[in-house]
């Protein structure tokens, strides 16, 4: 029997649009998907830019009005890679039109928007997913399995840091990621959201937090309207504008199961381009992950005799089901990279759509993440502990 064909419409075509497009192209080449994929239409506001992106990234059609894409009866799936302030409107419209939805993180600007998106998705019966691609790093997925299998015992600590340095220069312009009305928050919603989600994935739900947020550079040159920007780079003009988001966000807190949390996100760590580290400590051992060495997971096993203890490297490249996802790629020891996390995400999403089953992280996860993000902001403003 012929497989169903899923026709994809993607809104947005710059940084995340490129990453998602590569995922759509590669998923069926490496994973035994339950449906064929048709990269039907890519959408963006600039006619020339989106037409060029369609040709470069492998899409059959381009469009400049996202409503025509979500209302197109030929399209089955809407993939949202646009700035954060558009997520809710597009996703709700897509759900009402019966489209399955994959949406970039953070799910929306506010808890209320996330709730509206979840309600619309549930009412339509669609498959919905937030693109937290780091869950599908093989080493992180393997850490989840080891924790669930009790390999490190009862959990004590979850510590995470996400550090970048791309806005340290005070002459870096006021791109959309530095404007609260478009992005919702700065480093907090952009990168802290990832390690919050990974904490929920690996450990459980947050119960209470205490947060700190800070903006180091309060005013920046306005973005040159004649230049091109993907949100991570642009040219500045001579006029200045106010930065209305955080440059760094930190939190300490507690999970429902009693595990303690310590998280830091910053865009002001010189030398760190996309640095993510995670450590989980338990009664029987510890796990440590560094994204700059993403094919390895470090494991301290306290059940070994003292003369054999120490952090060991688990090279997460064994095929045959020993490690998640890598069996679809290369022979043992041949590493994979950042782009593969999107392929894994899309492969799981397509499988769920074909079967009509949920796939994590769902919009409900997006809502729960947003509650933590909001609690950190509330705590930072009021300088007090906040229950999630």
Average the pLDDT over 175-185 and give the result.
96
Closest C-alpha to 291, from 247, 336, 323? 336
Q: Is the pLDDT of residue 62 over 80?
A: yes
* pLDDT given at position 338: 97
The answer on pLDDT for 355 being more than 80 is yes
Model confidence at 319, in pLDDT bands (50, 70, 90)? Answer: confident
- Show contacts of 121-127: CB within 8 Å, 24+ apart: 121/91, 121/95, 121/363, 123/95, 124/95, 124/96, 124/98, 126/94, 126/95, 126/98, 126/99, 126/100, 126/101, 127/100, 127/101, 127/349, 127/352, 127/353, 127/356, 127/357, 127/358, 127/359
Residue 347 pLDDT > 70, yes or no? yes
Q: Is residue 345 part of a domain?
A: no
How confident is the model over 289-316, as a mean pLDDT? Answer: 97
* Tally of domains in the chain: 2
pLDDT for the residue numbered 106: 97
Sheet strands side by side (includes 206-214): 312-315, 296-301, 285-290, 275-282, 155-163, 260-266, 248-255, 206-214, 386-387
Residue-wise pLDDT for 5-39, tens only, equals 999 999 999 999 999 999 999 999 999 999 999 99
**Using one digit for the tens of pLDDT, what is the confidence trace for 142-156?**
999 999 999 999 999
pLDDT band at 256 (very low <50, low <70, confident <90, very high): very high
Provide mean pLDDT across the span 327-346: 96
Q: Is residue 352 part of a domain?
A: no
Binning pLDDT at 50, 70 and 90, where does residue 224 land? confident
Q: Above 60 in pLDDT, residue 113?
A: yes
Do 129 and 22 have their domain in common? yes
Residue 246 has pLDDT above 60, yes or no: yes
The residue behind tokens 């919050």 is: 196
| Same domain membership, residue 93 and residue 43 | yes
Within a domain: 31: yes
Q: What is the CATH number of the domain that holds 127?
A: 3.40.50.720
Task: Tell which of 81, 115, 134 closes a domain.
Answer: 134
Q: Which two tokens stand for residue 107?
A: 């799910």
Quick one: tokens of 124?
A: 């339509």
- Where among 134, 150, 181 does a domain terminate? 134
Contact between 183 and 189 (Cβ < 8 Å): yes
- Residues paired with 113 in a beta bridge: none
- 62 and 157 within one domain: no
- Kindly report which listed range (233-242, 285-294, 331-340) carries the lowest average pLDDT score: 233-242
Percent of the chain whose pLDDT exceeds 90: 94
Give the mean model confidence (pLDDT) for residues 212-232: 80
Question: What stretches of the chain show up as alpha helix (H) in DSSP?
Answer: 15-30, 47-57, 66-70, 87-96, 111-124, 138-148, 180-183, 187, 193-202, 338-355, 363-382
The reply to whether 143 and 18 lie within a common domain is no
Same domain, 181 and 233: yes
Instruction: Using the 3D structure, point to which of 114, 134, 154 is the last residue of a domain.
Output: 134
Residue 349 has pLDDT above 70, yes or no: yes
Span 156-184, average pLDDT: 97
Q: pLDDT-derived band of residue 167, with 50, 70 and 90 as boundaries?
A: very high
- For the chain, the average pLDDT equals 96
pLDDT above 90 for 226:
no
What residue numbers bound the domain in which 239 lies? 138-293+295-336+369-382
Same domain for 201 and 102, yes or no, is: no
Q: Taking the model in full, what pTM does it have?
A: 0.95
Please answer whether residues 372 and 196 qualify as being in contact, where contact means their C-beta atoms are separated by less than 8 angstroms.
yes
CB pairs under 8 A, 24+ apart, for 58-63?
Answer: 58/21, 58/24, 58/25, 59/10, 59/21
Q: Is the pLDDT of residue 228 over 60?
A: no
d(CA 86, CA 36) in angstroms, rounded, equals 28
Q: Percentage of the chain with pLDDT > 70?
A: 96
What value does the mean pLDDT take over residues 67-85?
A: 98
Q: What is the pLDDT of residue 1?
A: 60
| Residue 350 counted as domain residue | no
The verdict on 166 and 250 lying in the same domain is yes
Are residues 204 and 151 part of one domain?
yes
Rounded mean pLDDT, 278-295:
98
Both 216 and 306 in a single domain?
yes
Residues 179 and 202 in one domain: yes
């Amino acid at each position: 029997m012929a497989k169903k064909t899923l026709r994809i419409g993607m809104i947005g075509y710059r940084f995340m649009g490129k990453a998602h497009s590569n995922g759509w192209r590669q998923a069926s080449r490496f994973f035994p998907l339950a449906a064929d994929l048709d990269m039907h239409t890519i959408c963006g506001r600039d006619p020339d830019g989106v037409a060029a992106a369609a040709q470069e990234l492998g899409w059959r059609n381009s469009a400049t009005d996202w409503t025509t894409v979500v209302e197109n009866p030929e399209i089955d799936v809407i993939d949202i890679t646009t700035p954060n302030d558009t997520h809710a409107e597009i996703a709700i419209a897509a759900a009402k039109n019966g489209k399955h939805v994959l949406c970039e993180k953070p799910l929306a600007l506010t808890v209320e928007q996330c709730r509206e998106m979840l309600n619309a998705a549930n009412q339509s019966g669609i498959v919905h997913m937030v693109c937290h691609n780091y869950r599908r790093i093989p080493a992180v997925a393997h850490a989840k399995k080891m924790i669930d299998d009790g390999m490190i015992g009862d959990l004590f600590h979850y510590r995470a840091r996400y550090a970048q340095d791309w806005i340290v220069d005070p002459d870096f312009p006021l791109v959309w990621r530095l404007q609260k009305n478009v992005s919702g928050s700065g480093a907090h919603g952009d990168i802290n959201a990832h390690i919050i989600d990974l904490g929920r994935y690996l450990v459980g739900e947050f119960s209470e937090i205490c947060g700190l947020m800070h903006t180091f550079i309060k005013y920046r040159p306005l973005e040159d309207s004649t230049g091109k920007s993907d949100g991570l780079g642009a040219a500045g003009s001579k006029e200045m504008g106010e930065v209305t988001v955080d440059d760094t966000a930190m939190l300490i807190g507690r999970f429902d199961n009693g595990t303690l949390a310590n998280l830091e996100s910053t865009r002001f760590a010189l030398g760190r381009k996309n640095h993510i580290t995670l450590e989980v400590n338990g009664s029987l051992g510890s796990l440590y992950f560094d994204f700059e060495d993403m094919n390895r997971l470090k494991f301290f096993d306290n059940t070994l005799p003292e003369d054999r203890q120490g952090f060991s490297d688990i090279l997460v490249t064994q095929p045959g089901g020993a490690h998640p996802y890598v069996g679809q790629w290369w022979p043992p020891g041949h590493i994979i990279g950042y782009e593969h996390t999107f392929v894994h995400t899309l492969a799981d999403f397509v499988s769920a759509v074909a079967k009509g089953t949920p796939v994590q992280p769902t919009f409900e996860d997006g809502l729960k993440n947003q509650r933590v993000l909001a609690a950190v902001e509330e705590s930072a403003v009021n300088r007090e502990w906040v229950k999630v």
